[in-house]
Amino acid sequence: MDGRELLCFSSNNYLGLANHPRLVAAAHESLERDGLGAGASRLITGTMEAHLEAEAALAAFVRAEAALLFSTGYAANVGALQALAGPSTVVLSDALNHASLIDGARLARAQVRVYRHLDLDHLEALLRESRAGADRAIIVTDALFSMDGDLAPLRDLRALADTHDAWLFVDEAHALGVLGPEGRGLSAREGIVPDVLVGTLGKSFGAAGAFVAGSARLRDLLLHRARSYVFSTAPLPLVARAAKAAAQLVLEADELRARVLTHAGRLRTELRARGFEVPESEGPIVPVIVGDPAATMNLSAFLYEAGFLAQGIRPPTVPVGTSRIRLVPIATHADAEIDALIAAFRAFGER
Ligand SMILES: *Cc1c(COP(=O)(O)O)cnc(C)c1O
């Protein structure tokens, strides 16, 4: 950045796959074989073998019946919610859900009820008061929350959904690849099956785009009704080929997963020991809460001078008074690089 070499602690490239030779090769081969653009939307003439193969591989990856590719995670969430919900649907949404989930529920003109972050009692109260007045209820949650790094209580959410005849919609964007057996996400780790599972391909998978997985019926419905799918040019086939290759790599990436989680655990322990406020969580995201936005940017600038890219996150992305540095170690960081970052935080504390 600005001609300086910085060690990046702010990406979502958790497994370090974005530059992996097998993904790069898959994309190169696709260019030769498929050309560049898909030329049209999927329902017109844009569907290529590359898309169908990626969908089959991604469905198999999360052990769902079927999956549908979208150009981005944003488009997947907006499209899926708009397709599944309407004015007679109540959407119960965690207060810290990703913006794309919020926008999807709005676009659907659904009855939106926001429950306090991870608060099951609040969710249940909202379900009790709203369920009878709606034809359909959908509980929507991130699996691993992007700014706090904490996890949704998916088993409890599944049980509440079953009790109240609601669907469970889980956005696995940050969990997929990192958590669960073979990186199959938090749902797999918790042994639950969401009705709708969204996975993104631009984070652990190192590529771009997203997929929605679930039943074959769900796929069929989205294929005809999700407007961000129907009215948008199909993803580049090379992205689909890279995503398929990534699904195989991610399955085999136990060592990389262990490295990210070990790095994150060390950062939590060591930064806490040096007096920094680091909330309880167990995934790859390590927020360091500073509070004041200016103080947060000072810390970010100090780290920059020390050779680390560690972005400050301020309102409105996070609530007022909780400005933070969101640290994300990745599998390709060396242990010595984690040590160096910890040393930089210590130097900041002692300055
Ligand atoms: C990143 C993210 C998205 C959006 O995915 P893109 O592919 O970047 O559009 C959706 N949901 C969550 C929880 C995310 O973190």
3-class secondary structure for the chain?
Answer: CCCCCCEECCCCCCCCHHHCHHHHHHHHHHHHHHCCCCCCEHHHHHCCHHHHHHHHHHHHHCCCCEEEEECCHHHHHHHHHHHHCCCCEEEEEECCCCHHHHHHHHHCCCEEEEECCCCHHHHHHHHHHHHHHCCEEEEEEECECCCCCCECCHHHHHHHHHHCCCEEEEECCCCCCCCCHHHCCHHHHHCCCCCEEEEECCCCCCCCCEEEEECHHHHHHHHHHCHHHHCCECCCHHHHHHHHHHHHHHHCCHHHHHHHHHHHHHHHHHHHHCCCECCCCCCCCEEEEEECHHHHHHHHHHHHHCCEECCEECCCCCCCCCEEEEECCCCCCCHHHHHHHHHHHHHHHHC
Closest atom, ligand 1, to C-alpha of 75: 9
What is the structure's pLDDT at 228?
98
Is the C-alpha dihedral spanning 86, 90, 92, 95 positive or negative?
positive
User: What does each of the 351 residues of the chain score in pLDDT, given as a tens digit?
Assistant: 778 899 999 999 999 999 999 999 999 999 999 999 999 999 999 999 999 999 999 999 999 999 999 999 999 999 999 999 999 999 999 999 999 999 999 999 999 999 999 999 999 999 999 999 999 999 999 999 999 999 999 999 999 999 999 999 999 999 999 999 999 999 999 999 999 999 999 999 999 999 999 999 999 999 999 999 999 999 999 999 999 999 999 999 999 999 999 999 999 999 999 999 999 888 999 999 999 999 999 999 999 999 999 999 999 999 999 999 999 999 999 999 999 999 999 999 998
What is the structure's pLDDT at 3?
83
Distance 203 CA to ligand 1 centre (A): 8
Q: What amino acid positions are annotated as catalytic residues? A: 146, 174, 203
What is the structure's pLDDT at 4?
84
The residue whose C-alpha atom lies closest to atom 5 belonging to ligand 1 is: 73
Substitution site in 117, 141, 171, 200 for ligand 1 pocket (most atoms within 8 Å of beta carbon): 200
| pTM of the complete model | 0.97
Distance 146 CA to ligand 1 centre (A): 9
What is the structure's pLDDT at 77?
98
Substitution site in 69, 72, 81, 100 for ligand 1 pocket (most atoms within 8 Å of beta carbon): 100
Residue 193 and residue 247: Cα distance in Å, rounded?
A: 19
Q: Which of 271, 310, 272, 264 shows the shortest CA–CA distance to 151?
A: 264
Closest atom, ligand 1, to C-alpha of 12: 1
C-alpha distance from residue 149 to each of 121, 285, 286 (Å) = 21, 5, 6
Distance 200 CA to ligand 1 centre (A): 6
Closest atom, ligand 1, to C-alpha of 202: 7
Query: Which residues are registered as beta bridge partners of 68?
Result: 212
What is the structure's pLDDT at 229?
98
Residue 226 and residue 116: Cα distance in Å, rounded?
A: 28
Tokens of 46: 């844009």
Query: Which residues are registered as beta bridge partners of 288?
Result: 325
Distance 171 CA to ligand 1 centre (A): 8
Distance 94 CA to ligand 1 centre (A): 16
* Residues in the ligand 1 pocket, defined by CB under 6 Å: 72-74, 77, 98, 100, 142, 146, 171, 173-174, 200, 202, 210
The residue whose C-alpha atom lies closest to atom 15 belonging to ligand 1 is: 173
